[in-house]
Amino acid sequence: MTHPIAFPALTSSVEQNTSQLVDQFGRYKQKLRISLTDRCNFHCAYCMPDHPQWLAKKDLLSFEELFRFCQVMVQLGIEHIRLTGGEPLMRQGVVHFIRDLQQLKTQGLKRISMTSNAFYLKKHAVALKQAGLDDINISLDSIQANTFFAMTQKNIEPVLEGIAAAQQAGLKIKLNCVVLADKNASEIVELTQWAYQQQLPLRFIEYMPLDQPEHWQRHKVISEDEIIQQLKPYFQIQKQQRQHDPATIYRLNDHYELGVISTISKPFCQSCNRLRLTATGELFTCLFANTGTALRDLLQPNREQFLLATIRQAVWHKKAGFIAQQQAPLRKISMHAIGG
């Protein structure tokens, strides 16, 4: 399957005419994902390399550097910051950082979110809510203990306890499930029914070639259409008009929202409004980019003009995306390091 680039490049005069971040295809950037650490206590089959080599602590951006970066990005039009990883709850100081980020809400920031495996969430749920976290996406690939273990190498109980604690704390939750043909594809209906009963919105994610090289194979991907086919006998399903969200939203039985992120079968690169920062301070303009732009040296005091110019340049040159390249990026770092 090939996808022509359906969106033309602009001239650089557009870049000069805006105070916001825009790329050469006219895609404005409002969303930023920050990887707080590459470390993770899980070993998900679709994410973690067999032998991960963790970054040294000194190589991680400090919270001061991260805050400076966020401040600049909010000036440049970023409205939504998501903290991710690795596992963001393994980075000490994350709750304080969320509290600090609240200051940026007077400058244009609208939402602070997190994506987590929820293993440590029971302990932190109340503090996260009190610090002002607006919402949390929780990875849950199965509710069967054995399948869950086979996919993550961890027990499911702490995760279910983490979800319950977040519900009790009043955190807004969405569940994420990556579907693998040979692991959890036969549990799509069961997981949906469970999430439906819990009234927790669920999003299925097509398996992307972002794990260790040569791991991903197309036949392991379960597509959006296949997912919806499986659910049809059990729910009345209505597809919703696509908005800016990367997920296609379906309404089940007139009230429950199910999303499917179909990067592989229906790439949504034309409307991509996201940027990513790795834990070492590299700006990746696309999940599928081969290289990032190192910003750490520019996050020191008095270098703001260079920082702004470098970010603008990097964003302007953002490529079309998976829609054009249709293959895994040629780089060493996998999803756990770039920050999903």
The contact set with ligand SF4 (CB under 6 A) reads 40, 42-44, 47-48, 85-87, 117, 139, 335-336
User: What DSSP designation does 58 have?
Assistant: G
326: amino acid identity, one letter: Q
Residue 24 makes contact with ligand SAM by CB under 6 A: no
Look at strands 247-252 and 237-239 and give their pairing: antiparallel
| Binder among 38, 87, 224, 282 for ligand SAM (CB under 6 A) | 87
Between CA 69 and CA 37 the distance in angstroms is 16
251 a known binding residue? no
Binding window for ligand SAM (CB under 6 A); candidates: 40-48, 235-243, 246-254, 304-312: 40-48
Q: How many helices (H) does the chain have, and how many strands (E)?
A: 11, 12
How many other CB atoms are found less than 10 A from the CB of residue 302?
6
User: Residue 40 or residue 289: which is nearer to ligand SF4 going by CB?
Assistant: 40
User: What DSSP designation does 11 have?
Assistant: P
CA distances from 186 to 212, 214, 243 (A): 24, 24, 29
User: Residue 124 or residue 336: which is nearer to ligand SAM going by CB?
Assistant: 336
User: Residue 22 or residue 159: which is nearer to ligand SAM going by CB?
Assistant: 159
Between CA 217 and CA 153 the distance in angstroms is 21
Identify the residue whose tokens are 């969430």.
Answer: 121
Look at strands 172-179 and 135-139 and give their pairing: parallel
Residue 336 makes contact with ligand SAM by CB under 6 A: yes
47 a known binding residue? yes
Residue 69 makes contact with ligand SAM by CB under 6 A: no
Residue 287 makes contact with ligand SAM by CB under 6 A: no
Map residues 202-241 to x or -, x wherever contact with ligand SAM holds by CB under 6 A: ---x-xx-xx------------------------------
**Which residues does the annotation place in the binding site?**
33, 40, 44, 46-47, 82, 86, 115, 139, 174, 208, 269, 272, 274-276, 286
